[in-house]
Amino acid sequence: MAQTHSILVLPGDGIGPEVMAEAIKVLKAFETPSHKFELRQELIGGCSIDATGKSVTEEVKQAALASDAVLFAAVGGPKWDNARRGLDGPEGGLLQLRKAMDIYANLRPCSSSSPSASIAKEFSPFRHEILFGSGKDGEAEGVDFVVVRENCGGAYFGRKVEDPTYAMDEWGYSEAEIERVTRLAAEVALRHNPPWPVISLDKANVLASSRLWRRVVEKVMTTEYPQLKVVHQLADSASLILATNPRSLNGVILADNTFGDMISDQAGSIVGTLGVLPSASLNGLPGDKSLKTRPYGLYEPTHGSAPTIAGKNIANPVAMILCVALMFRYSLNMEAEATRLEDAVRKVLDKGLRTPDLGGTMGTKELGDAIVAEL
């Protein structure tokens, strides 16, 4: 049966339009009689401020809620830095969109094997054995995990007191908030072959919110996902393990907003460059029975708008292109295509075809073409 996937495309500012053009080129290479893509392109960030006075319009938010997935590149730049802040500034457009979609889980995959093994080998500050193990087939047993970070609650959204001599951030979670992100982490674990363990981070030894976190994660995992392994790991020791033996954390690393923020940035150091790291923000996965709306997914690279290299055809499009693979996997039920795309990216990088940020000489467009040719 032919399926048409509606995708909202938000290139944004700086290098955003350049890397997005390559992602769309790659996406179109997957069009078949059974999978069609209906693309709608809209403004967000600085370009939206210039055109409409707002960092994101109501119409674009509605378009996001009506689409099967959103591809977002990057927003912001010096042009808007001093004039606007908060929700009115370029990044405010993204924050407003995240809120409208209630995308409460942020996923950041981190893998030293497919698709960025050769990049990790050259650019990671980690030693080869730490990344890949010492086995002959080490690469297959390399670092491979996904951080699932709760993204709409906790300390970043709690009540605040800000007096001259005292300040307070309320770090609170409800049972329902913990349940939904745990289910999502478990569903991500199930999509991996073989199923991944869920490694939940907390500070149950000192924080009340962490004690609830641990209790609810344990309850959801044992009652709803008895087939999956669950591990509770203190967040501080997890960060030590990530620096010394990251392969022992292979699986889904589930964390609240604060610990998740820290561990996902630390995880970014494993591959050693921002230009190849995609991310996904989700409010659930297709088939999730607890969802009250349709599943929403927004896919964005972890880098920003890199204004100093914009317009020169030198930006690395790999992170944005890998967002397409994540979109296939988590929003469009196209796992085979996700893997095929990741393999093609890996082969191209392994051949040494790279943009200048990774020591190569390829242009943005030429690298996109090479990935399409590899497919």
Q: Which residues are catalytic?
A: 156, 203, 236, 261, 265
- Give the nearest distance from C-beta 109 to ligand NAI in angstroms: 17
Residue type, 186: A
**CB closer to ligand NAI, 75 vs 348:** 75
Asked if 187 contacts 288 with a C-beta cutoff of 8 angstroms, the reply is yes
Give the 3-state secondary structure of 11-76: EECCCHHHHHHHHHHHHHCCCCCCEEEEEEECCCCHHHHHHHCCCCCHHHHHHHHHCCEEEEEECC
Residue 256 neighbours by CB under 8 Å, 6+ apart: 149, 150, 153, 154, 173, 201, 202, 209, 210, 213
* Residue closest to 246 by CA, chosen among 135, 119, 112, 106: 112
> Which 336-375 positions form the footprint of Mg ion (CB under 5 A)?
none
Contacts with ligand NAI, residue ranges (CB under 6 A): 15, 19, 74-77, 91, 94, 274-275, 300, 303-309, 315-316, 357
Chain position whose Cβ is nearest to ligand NAI: 304
Q: Which partner in ligand NAI, Mg ion, none is near 271 (CB below 5 to 8 A by kind)? A: none
Could you tell which of Mg ion, ligand NAI, none binds residue 309, using a CB distance below 5 to 8 A set by kind?
A: ligand NAI
CB of 163 to Mg ion, least distance (A): 27
**Residue closer to Mg ion (CB basis): 255 or 285:** 255
Segment contacting Mg ion by CB under 5 A, of 187-195, 250-258, 261-269, 286-294: 261-269
Looking at beta carbons only, is 227 or 308 nearer to ligand NAI?
A: 308
Return the one option of ligand NAI, Mg ion, none that residue 133 interacts with (CB less than 5 to 8 A, by type). Answer: none
Between residues 41 and 233, which has the closer beta carbon with respect to ligand NAI?
Answer: 41
23: closest CA among 306, 319, 225?
319
Type of residue numbered 19: V
CB of 327 closer than 8 Å to CB of 297: yes
Residues 28-47 that bind Mg ion (CB under 5 A): none
* Identity of the residue, 18 or 261, whose beta carbon is nearer to Mg ion in the bound complex: 261
Q: At what angle do helices 364-374 and 16-28 cross, to 10 degrees?
A: 20
**Phi/psi of residue 26, nearest 5 degrees:** -65, -45
| Binds Mg ion (CB under 5 A): choice among 150, 187, 261, 300 | 261
Closest approach, Cβ 91 to Mg ion, in A, equals 13
Maximum pairwise Cα distance, the chain: 65
Judged by beta carbon, residue 5 or residue 354, the one nearer ligand NAI is 354
**Exposure string over 14-42, b if 16+ CB within 10 A, otherwise e:** bbbbbbbbbbbbbbebbeeeebebeeeeb
Select from Mg ion, ligand NAI, none the partner in contact with residue 306, using the beta carbon and a kind-dependent cut-off of 5 to 8 Å: ligand NAI
- Of the pair 229, 312, the CB lying nearest ligand NAI is at 312
- Residue 261 touches which member of Mg ion, ligand NAI, none, C-beta under 5-8 Å by kind: Mg ion
Question: Closest-CB residue for Mg ion?
Answer: 261
Residues in region 264-323 near Mg ion by CB under 5 A: 265
Q: Measured from the CB of residue 277, what is the shortest distance to Mg ion in angstroms?
A: 12
Shortest distance (Å) from residue 266 CB to Mg ion? 10
Q: How far is the CB of 146 from Mg ion (least distance, A)?
A: 16
91 binding Mg ion? (CB under 5 A): no
Q: Which residues bind Mg ion (CB under 5 A)?
A: 261, 265
